[in-house]
């Protein structure tokens, strides 16, 4: 059951609750006319998982393709109502063009098809971005502020 939210209720929330925008102040400076509860704070990095170690399959994949332009594709924390279909579309394009790629499946936005095998496509559940980004040529991702920050 949905409760009706009036304009008055919405206005009160917007005028009194603290709101932060995690966009860079270099790109979007805070307008002077904004109330104090609205702030542009930039990107705030989460703590890294320094104890993470890659598995042998991932290390082998990177070694095999070390002289190629490997992509990393992830939907990050985004969910996907049809992950099988989206993954199949990506696989089709990547295989057709023989592009080596690591596909991140952490939140289920993309999934490894059962029994799928390819010399050019490696699926990995979790990889710290700080670890993988320097090892790949490009990143295709969901546009989150953290992923964008680390990608740049």
Least confident of 9-18, 37-46, 86-95: 37-46
Judge whether 28 lies within some domain.
yes
CA dist 111 and 104 (Å) reads 8
Q: What is the mean pLDDT of residues 52-56?
A: 94
Domain extent at residue 142: 56-151
Tokens of 68: 């190629």
Tens-place pLDDT, residues 63-93: 999 999 999 999 877 778 899 999 999 999 9
Q: Which of 109, 60, 106, 107 has the alpha carbon at shortest distance from 89?
A: 109
Residues 60 and 122 in one domain: yes
* C-beta separation of 25 from 39 below 8 A: no
Strands in 138-140's sheet, in edge-to-edge order, are 121-124, 101-104, 71-74, 138-140
Regarding whether 135 and 79 lie in a shared domain, the answer is yes
CA atoms of 151 and 140, how far apart (whole Å): 9
Confidence of residue 19 (pLDDT cuts 50, 70, 90): confident
Residue 46 belongs to some domain of the structure? no
Residue 87 placed within a domain: yes
Q: Are residues 102 and 145 in the same domain?
A: yes
> How many other CB atoms sit within 10 Å of the CB of residue 64?
14
23 in the same domain as 78: no
In this structure, what CATH number is given to the domain that contains residue 101? 3.40.50.2000
State pLDDT tens for residues 103-119: 999 888 899 999 999 99
What's the chain's length in residues? Answer: 152
Check whether residue 111 and residue 144 sit in a common domain: yes
Is residue 31 domain-resident?
yes
pLDDT value, residue 49: 60
Q: Count up the domains in the chain and report the number.
A: 2
Are residue 75 and residue 29 in the same domain, yes or no?
no
* Together in a domain, 69 and 136: yes
């Amino acid at each position: 059951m949905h409760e009706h939210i009036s304009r008055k209720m919405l206005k009160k929330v917007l005028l009194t609750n603290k709101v932060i925008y995690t966009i860079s102040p270099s790109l979007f400076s805070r307008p002077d006319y904004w109330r104090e509860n609205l702030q542009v704070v930039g990107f705030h990095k989460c703590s890294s998982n320094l104890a993470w170690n890659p598995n042998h399959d991932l290390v082998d994949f990177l070694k095999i393709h070390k002289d190629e332009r490997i992509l990393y594709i992830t939907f990050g924390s985004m969910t996907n109502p049809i992950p099988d279909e989206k993954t199949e579309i990506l696989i089709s394009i990547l295989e057709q063009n023989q592009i080596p790629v690591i596909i991140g499946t952490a939140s289920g936005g993309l999934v490894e098809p059962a029994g799928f095998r390819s010399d050019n496509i490696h699926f990995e559940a979790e990889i710290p971005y700080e670890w993988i980004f320097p090892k790949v040529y490009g990143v295709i991702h969901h546009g989150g502020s953290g992923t964008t920050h680390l990608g740049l």
